[in-house]
Amino acid sequence: MAEETHAAPGLHELRPAEGSHRDRKRIGRGEGSGNGKTSGRGQKGQKSRAGSHRMRPGFEGGQMPLYMRLGKLRGPNNRKSMPMGPFRTHTTPVNVRDLERFDAGVEVTPDLLKAAGVVKSLRHPVKILGDGELSHGLTVHAHAFSRRAAELIQAAGGTVVVIGGAPEPEPPRKRKAKPAAAPEPEAVAEETAADEAPADEVPADTAEEAAESEE
């Protein structure tokens, strides 16, 4: 008996698996759909408005939020200064394992870390943390060191050098200056006529006032 051969299915015969495809929920398309008029959002309230489900973190419905009700210490150098604001002290972390790529005896500076791709920017001070191991001695320059990081560097025969002060901020990008707008031709013509007028001419009103004052 000859074996039956089945042709490969064509693109017109392909269908998604049963239950894997669902039609889009069409809201606001008539009362008979069950999601007409208010589109399933109810009558009133904040959640019936557009954008109400994309509120920013910390939003409390309009009342005074927690991060504004609590007291705050001033200044950028305190850990408790504006704990939810933009004035918290930041550092760029670098672990000890990231220093393993440098040869023994090399002086590792923040500029060298940026050139090697360990850090992306020197906008914030660099702090060395103690995650990982170091097998050779290095002279590491940084703005701060954790206790374990300093112990690991010194145990490997290296030296820890603390840089005083924060690094200089990176210069802002220069914006292209817009070309100055050309003056209107009427204004230029008026200025030119005023410059060319002789200084001896006196307006008629001024001459009459001078004659009356002499009489």
- In CATH, what number is assigned to the domain containing residue 134? 3.100.10.10
Name the residue range of residue 114's domain. 92-162
pLDDT band, very low/low/confident/very high, at 99 (cuts 50, 70, 90):
very high
Q: Classify residue 98 as exposed, middle or buried by CB count within 10 Å of its CB (0-12, 13-18, 19+).
A: buried
pLDDT digits (tens, 9 = 90+) for 31-61: 999 999 999 999 999 889 998 888 888 889 8
Residue 120 within any structural domain of the chain = yes
What is residue 182's predicted lDDT score, i.e. its pLDDT? 63
In this structure, which long-range contacts are made by residues 148-155, counting pairs with CB atoms below 8 Å and at least 24 apart in sequence?
149/95, 149/96, 152/96, 153/96, 153/99, 153/128
Mean pLDDT within 110-134: 93
| % of residues, the chain, pLDDT over 70 | 67
Residue 130 within any structural domain of the chain = yes
Residue 34 within any structural domain of the chain = no
Going by C-alpha positions, the residue among 122, 121, 144, 130 that lies closest to residue 99 is 130
**Number of domains making up the chain:** 1
Residue 153 within any structural domain of the chain = yes
Residue 183 within any structural domain of the chain = no
Residue 123 within any structural domain of the chain = yes
Residue 96 within any structural domain of the chain = yes
Residue 30 within any structural domain of the chain = no
Task: Tell if the pTM clears 0.75, that is, is over it.
Answer: no
**Statement: residue 160 has pLDDT above 90:** yes
Residue 32 is classified by DSSP as G
**Statement: residue 79 has pLDDT above 50:** yes
| % of residues, the chain, pLDDT over 90 | 44
Cα distances from 83 to residues 56, 71, 73, in angstroms, run 17, 10, 9
Give the contacts of 131 (CB within 8 A, at least 6 positions apart): 95, 96, 97
pLDDT band, very low/low/confident/very high, at 188 (cuts 50, 70, 90):
low
Beta bridge partners of 159: 139
